[in-house]
Amino acid sequence: MGISKSVFKLLIVEAKKGAFTGKKLLQLGRQHTFLTFSDALKCVKAAKFDYATPKEITLSFNEELKRLNYVDDVTLFSLLGFDEVHSLDVSPYERSSIVHDLNQPVAAGLQGQYDVVFDGGTLEHVFHVPQVFRNIHALLKNGGTIIHCSPSHNHVDHGFYMFSPTLFGEYYAANQYKQISSYVFEYAFENNSSWNVYDYQLGCLDALSFGGFGKKMLGIWFSAQKLATSSICAQNLAEEVEMASLRCCKSAKESSADPSQTF
C-alpha cells in the first residue's frame, strides 16, 4: 500500500471536486508515501489547490523511505486539510492508530466518526469483502466520502482478489450513494511512474473483457458520498444492475479510447 505522486494527484482532484467535507480521515491500512514534502508542495501548487499548512512535517515511519526524505501519511493528508488522520489495520506492525480485523464488524465507538475513508489497497487483502463494505458504511458520517484505489487486471496473488470496476459503481448505486469519480488507470510497478487515467462507465470495457489488456496492469479509482438515504444491503441490487447496464452500455461502448488524464 502506498501513496505515489499519481495517487496524491488524484486525491487533490477529489479535494477540488468537494469530496472532502470535513477534517477527519481514516485510512484502511496505514499508507506508505513516496513523496518528499517538496514533491507534495509541487503537486498542490501545480493543481492550484488551496492547501493547508501542516502543523508538523514528519518523515515516514518506514526507515528506508525515511532515508529518502519521504513524508509520512499524516503530513501528506494534512496538506489536503485534514486535522485528524487515523489508520486502521489488522496488526500494530505499521503503527496504525486502530487495530481491527475488517473481517469483523467495527466497534460501535468508531461508527459515524469519519468524513473520509480511504481504501488505498486494503480491500483485496480481506477475505470477507461484504463485511468490509458494511464497515465502510458504518465508519462514515452522513455526507462522508469513500475512496477506493483497488487492483484490477494483472495483479495475480497480490491479495485474495482482483476487482472489476463495475463492482463499485453497481454496489454504491444500489445502496443509494452519490458517485463522485469513477476511473480505471494503467500503470507500471515503479512507484512514481505516470498513470494513464480513463473515465469509466458501465460497459465501456466490454470489448477488452477477454485478454484485451495483455501485460498492462490496471487499477480502479472510485469515490462516492454517503447520503442520509444510503443503505448497506439494497434488496433491489439485481434490478439496479440490470437497469444500469441498459442505460450505460450503448453510450459507454462508444467512448474514446484515449486517456482522459495523465498523472
- pLDDT score recorded for residue 152: 87
Run of H or E residues at 198: strand 196-199
* Phi, psi angle pair for 150, to nearest 5°: -130, 155
- pLDDT score recorded for residue 240: 52
Contact residues for 253 (Cβ-Cβ < 8 A; gap 6+): 203, 204, 206, 207
Q: Of 29, 34, 73, which is closest to residue 54 (Cα–Cα)?
A: 73
Is residue 18 domain-resident?
yes
- pLDDT score recorded for residue 1: 64
- pLDDT score recorded for residue 207: 83
Q: Which residues form the domain of 151?
A: 2-256
252: domain CATH number?
A: 3.40.50
What's the chain's Rg over C-alpha atoms? 18
List helix spans (H) across the chain. Answer: 5-16, 37-46, 63-67, 73-79, 129-139, 166-174, 237-253
Q: Of 189, 218, 192, 148, which is closest to residue 4 (Cα–Cα)?
A: 192
Number of domains in the chain: 1
Is residue 100 domain-resident?
yes
Contact residues for 89 (Cβ-Cβ < 8 A; gap 6+): 29, 30, 96, 98, 99, 100
- pLDDT score recorded for residue 191: 67
Is residue 69 domain-resident?
yes
Is residue 82 domain-resident?
yes
Calculate ∠ Cα 16-200-224, nearest 5°: 50
Helices 37-46 and 5-16: crossing angle, nearest 10°?
40
Average pLDDT, consecutive stretches of 10 residues, N- to C-terminus, the chain (263 residues): 91 95 94 96 96 94 96 96 96 93 96 97 94 97 96 82 92 96 87 84 85 82 96 58 51 52 75
- pLDDT score recorded for residue 253: 47
Which position has the grid cell 494503467?
A: 186
Is residue 263 domain-resident?
no
- pLDDT score recorded for residue 235: 47
Is residue 127 domain-resident?
yes
Is residue 206 domain-resident?
yes
Is residue 78 domain-resident?
yes
- This prediction has a pTM of 0.89
